[in-house]
Amino acid sequence: MRAEVLVVWVSLTLCCTLVWTREDVKEKKLSRSQIQVREAQELINHRRQRVEGDTEMSDEPAAVVETAKPKKKKTPEEIEAARAKKAAEKEAKAKKQKAPKPTKKPKPPKPTKKPKPPKPTKKPKAPKPTKKPKTTTTTTVKPDVRRPSPEEEEEEKRLLIELGWDTLTGPVTPKSPEPVEPDLVDLSKKPTSPTKPLSELDPDYWDARHEVPDGYPDKKQTTTTEVIMYIPEEVTTLPYIDPLYEEYDYADIAAKKQEQEEERARKEKAEKAERLRKKWEEEEEERLRQISVPAEPKICPPLGLESHRVEDDQLLASSQSHHGFVAQRGRLNMQGSDNDEDMYGGAWCAEPEEKDHWFEVDARREVEFTGVITQGRNSEKHEDFVSSYYVAFSNDSRDWTHHIFSSGSLLQLFYGNVDKDTPVMSQFATPVVARYIRIQPQSWNGSLCLRAEILACQLPSTYHSENEVNPSDELDFRHHNYKEMRQMMKVINEECPNITRIYNIGKSSQGLKMYAMEISDNPGEHETGEPEFRYTAGLHGNEALGRELLLLLMQFLCKEYKDDNPRVRRLVDGVRIHLVPSLNPDAYELAYEMGSEMGNWALGHWTEEGYDIFQNFPDLNSILWGAEDRGWVPRVVPNHHIPLPENVLNGSIAVETKAIVSWMERNPFVLGANLQGGEKLVAYPFDMQRPPISVNEETWTPDDAMFRWLAMSYAHSHLTMTETHRGSCHGDDVTGGQGIVNRASWKPVVGSMNDFSYLHTNCFELSIFLGCDKFPHESELPLEWESNREALLAFIEQVHRGIKGVVKDTEGNPLVNATISVEGIRHDVTTAAGGDYWRLLNPGEYRVTAKAEGYTPQTRLCLVGYDSGATSCSFTLVKSNWDRIKQIMAFHGKRPIRLPLLSRDCSAQL
């Protein structure tokens, strides 16, 4: 019984052993695949954690700790069967692919490829457990759910290929768009292997699986339930030190190489940046050289509002406050009447009830507008001026384009005046080509009143406007300051030394010399029978046109005399001409600094001491008219050469005025004119109006007819002075269409240079007002010269009109200061140092008497014809007993001498 029980127990044991063995083999096959997959997955996770720094680096590879089943000892039959099976599989595998020989070592990595980590010298053995394996619980590390980047996926694939586990896990394609955890492998699916082993794809490939120790039956069948693999770290990413491997440290070389590469890249980058910078600077310099942007805005001459070249019908406005302030009054430096309510106001003023205000100028053709000059209202009571405005342009006067800033589309607001007199110029950054321009006031002080000038350049065209005159004379058409004027006169004197002489008549209050140019065939001396003529200019410093015209006349006479111009030669040989371009040099320098358009009506008008030179001469009119009212003329007070009152020159007389008076007394001038500005006409004396209390209220001179002729000789020779149909510069035409006016009936003044010259010397002098613009632009000088050249020459020629002669005694000695009287004209002249005289007379028959103290007067009938040249009418005076009679009268107390005895004797004899 006991034996039977033992047999049954042994049988059951054998059966159980067979069953367990079969299950163990099956379980081992499954467990081996699971272990390999899990080990690969854990190694990949472990590598990621080390790269990302999420877990600490460890010398031991990460492994999944599982509860190991107890090993069971195999029977010899099972071991032999396993070996036979392993050998068969090995033989079949060798036929399919050529495995690397286990005795040879793998080839070293090529130098061009990335170095691979060193391989262990011996295969590590699995550690044997010293204790009975226990079931342990490990802390599950939460897998990284972050989707790996393409570089990480490539790194994982390369690692699987190097470990030879690419046959265990194939690419897993997700079935849904949900992200797949990269660390999880579906073990239910059978892994796929590549069509070719990696050993055939890469001849340098080496797999540790091919190194099977001798006596080992099969690598796929292992007796252990846990496999531990050591994966060396790549030195190119993170160095990994394992004492079990013989590694070569590439980290230092790679780091140095990387530093060198970075340094080289930095140098190349810096060099490239420097090259680009130099290239950019060169291109910028070249671009700036090529860009034709003017350093300053373009400045053009005035369109002609102030000079009246722009006519009245070219000016329009949105409205007017009343009749006296129409658009035609909106001209720069327009002067109003003394009465602010008069019909001629000193500006254009708008209707205050209007909302949209504008002042428009029609250029009559397209021009380049470059700027606007504005000014306030001319008034003694009101401070009216525009402080800001817009500017608009048009070609048809319907569609308007406003001036905008160059940087955008914002309208540019121009700032105007801060007072009523000072002009303010606003320039455009770039010229605007248009026909019409509008000024649109936006803010103003007092009433909206405006005076303006427009700056514009004429476009190239076959049609030439008044601004585009090409003079026939090659002269220096520009404004000259004091130094330039002196240099110009010096050059003329050097070119024509035989007919010119430079001298000065005195100094200004600031010490500037008042230069004069004498032009004559014998300069420096008075020739008997040759009259003397003078032109003066610059009495008011801001009236610059006369100054430039005299400089041009000097150049012209010199040039034409050298070219044998017969008319000029007759003038130079027959007249001693004196030209003084600047009688007020101090004031001119002040006006010159401000420029032609920026000076106002008064700037530079007076001397440095505050005198108006033209009105600063001694008042001889009152002396003459007072003597006439008392019947003292000519017995007590002469009608000519009225002596100066005592100490008159020590009173309120300017330094410049004293110099001019002395100059007049030294030279026997016959005819002269002073050139002024602000109007366009010729004014003749008397300049002072006679007081109404006098019996004779006439303000004309005894030579009124002669003065009218002289004035007309200039005005009618001028190209435009008689064109008075548009009125004068500031009001109605006061000349009656003739271009001449008696100053006393127009704008009377006291102590004028003209009246003083007529009453104190032989000289007949007039005032020539050259134009509305006192200081015309330099570009207008050629036009002004063409307009005035003939008039300047014609007026000089009038010095030969009338009679001339020499007064001598019976011995042939010239009589100085002999008086020449013309019957019917209560104004006498005197002879010069050579006994010669000139009496300006219109054509006709005259009874002329020559008187000299101590000589018997002589009367002759002189005929003045229409031919050119003065009529010769000389006198020879005989001495009289008037000197003896005066002595006897003085001896008897200037009482009549009675001879009664002599009378009785004479009667007795009869």
pLDDT band at 253 (very low <50, low <70, confident <90, very high): confident
Percent over 70 (pLDDT), the chain = 69
- 904 pLDDT exceeds 60? no
Residue type (1 letter), 604: G
Do 644 and 760 touch, CB atoms closer than 8 A?
A: yes
Better-predicted residue by pLDDT, 53 or 13: 13
pLDDT at 689 over 60: yes
pLDDT number for residue 86? 78
Q: Does the pLDDT of residue 249 top 90, yes or no?
A: no
Residue 902 half-sphere exposure toward CB, CA atoms < 13 A: 3
Rg of the Cα trace of the chain? 62
Vertex 27: Cα angle to 21 and 32 (nearest 5) = 125
Determine the average pLDDT of the residues in 89-98.
63
CB atoms within 10 A of CB 353: 7
pLDDT for the residue numbered 169: 45
Name the band, by pLDDT with cuts 50, 70 and 90, for residue 415: very high
pLDDT at 647: 85
What confidence score (pLDDT) does residue 59 get?
A: 42
- In this predicted structure, the answer to whether residue 462 has a pLDDT above a threshold of 60 is no
Q: What is the pLDDT of residue 255?
A: 83
**Residues in contact with 486: Cβ distance below 8 Å, sequence separation at least 6, in sequence order:** 515
Residue (of 834, 829, 807) closest to 819 by Cα position: 829
Cα pseudo-dihedral 716, 721, 725, 727, rounded to 10: -140
Mean pLDDT to the nearest integer, 63-76: 50
Amino acid 83: pLDDT = 79
Query: Average pLDDT over the chain, rounded to whole?
Result: 80
> For the purposes of burial, counting CB atoms within 10 Å of the CB of 900, is it exposed (0-12), middle (13-18) or buried (19 or more)?
exposed
Please tell me the distance from the alpha carbon of residue 342 to that of residue 877, in angstroms, as a whole number.
60
Query: Taking 90 as the threshold, does the pLDDT of residue 443 lie above it?
Result: yes
How confident is the model over 859-892, as pLDDT tens digits?
Answer: 999 999 988 889 999 999 999 887 777 777 777 7
Which structure tokens are listed for 5? Answer: 């029980």
- What confidence tier does 177 reach under pLDDT thresholds 50, 70, 90? very low
Q: Highest mean pLDDT range out of 148-152, 218-222, 305-309, 459-463?
A: 305-309
Q: Over 70: is that where the pLDDT of 464 sits?
A: no
Task: Give residue-wise pLDDT tens across range 667-677.
Answer: 999 999 999 99
Q: How confident is the model at residue 222 (pLDDT cuts 50, 70, 90)?
A: very low
Model pLDDT, residue 172 = 45
Range of weakest confidence among 131-140, 366-375, 770-779: 131-140
Q: Which of residues 185 and 789 earns the better pLDDT score?
A: 789
CA distances from 11 to 1, 5, 6, 25 (A): 15, 10, 9, 21
Phi-psi label, residue 524: left if phi above 0, alpha if psi -120 to 50, beta otherwise: left
pLDDT single digits (tens) 699-748: 789 999 999 999 999 999 999 999 888 788 998 899 989 999 999 999 99
Q: What is the pLDDT of residue 469?
A: 55
- The structure tokens 């005066």 sit at 886
Q: How confident is the model at residue 409 (pLDDT cuts 50, 70, 90)?
A: confident
Spatial separation of the C-alpha atoms in residues 518 and 577, rounded to whole Å: 6
Specify the pLDDT at position 216.
43
Q: Return d(Cα 565, Cα 471) in angstroms, integer.
A: 18
- Residue 570 phi, psi (nearest 5): -65, -40
Answer whether 639's CB lies under 8 Å from 631's CB: no
As a whole number, mean pLDDT of residues 773-777 equals: 93
pLDDT mean over 539-567: 96
**Neighbouring residues of 208: CB distance < 8 A, sequence distance ≥ 6:** 119, 123, 164
Helical packing angle, 566-574 and 545-562, nearest 10°: 110
Per-residue pLDDT reduced to its tens digit, 8-45: 677 677 766 655 555 554 555 545 555 554 655 655 55
pLDDT recorded at residue 881: 81
Q: What is the pLDDT of residue 254?
A: 82
Give the position of tokens 């989707």: 147
Q: Are 834 and 814 in contact (CB under 8 A)?
A: yes
Q: Is the pTM of this model over 0.85?
A: no
User: Residue 135: what pLDDT?
Assistant: 42
More confident residue, 114 or 625: 625
pLDDT of residue 192: 43
Choice between 460 and 512, residue whose per-residue pLDDT is larger: 512
Task: State the average pLDDT over residues 235-253.
Answer: 55
Evaluate whether 121 touches 246 at the Cβ level (below 8 Å).
Answer: yes
Q: How confident is the model at residue 806 (pLDDT cuts 50, 70, 90)?
A: very high
Give 23 or 174, the one with higher predicted confidence: 23
Give helix 545-562 / helix 781-797 axis angle, nearest 10°: 70
Query: pLDDT band at 562, cuts 50/70/90?
Result: very high
Closest CA to 504 of 558, 585, 590: 585
Q: Is the pLDDT of residue 453 over 70?
A: yes
Beta strand 740-742 pairing with 679-684: parallel
pLDDT, residue 541, reads: 94
What was the pLDDT predicted at 297? 82
Question: What's the pLDDT at 165?
Answer: 53
Q: With left for phi above 0 and alpha for psi between -120 and 50, is residue 450 left, alpha or beta? A: beta
Q: Residues 679-718, buried b or exposed e (16+ Cβ, 10 A)?
A: bbbbbbbbbbbbeeeeeeeebbbbbbebbbbbbbbbbebb
Asked if residue 814 has pLDDT above 80, the reply is yes
Q: Work out the burial of residue 186: count CB atoms within 10 Å of its CB; fewer than 13 is exposed, 13-18 middle, 19 or more buried.
A: exposed
pLDDT of residue 339: 73
Q: Which of 194-198, 383-387, 539-543 has the lowest mean pLDDT?
A: 194-198
Say what the pLDDT of residue 771 is: 94
* Structure token pair of residue 532: 């003397």
Say whether pLDDT at 175 is over 70.
Answer: no
CA distances from 469 to 183, 260, 549, 782, 785 (A): 99, 78, 16, 6, 10
Positive or negative torsion for Cα 558, 560, 566, 568: negative
Give the DSSP letter string of 102-137: TTSPPPPPPTTSPPPPPPPSSPPPPPPPSS------
Q: Is 720 in contact with 694 (CB distance < 8 Å)?
A: no
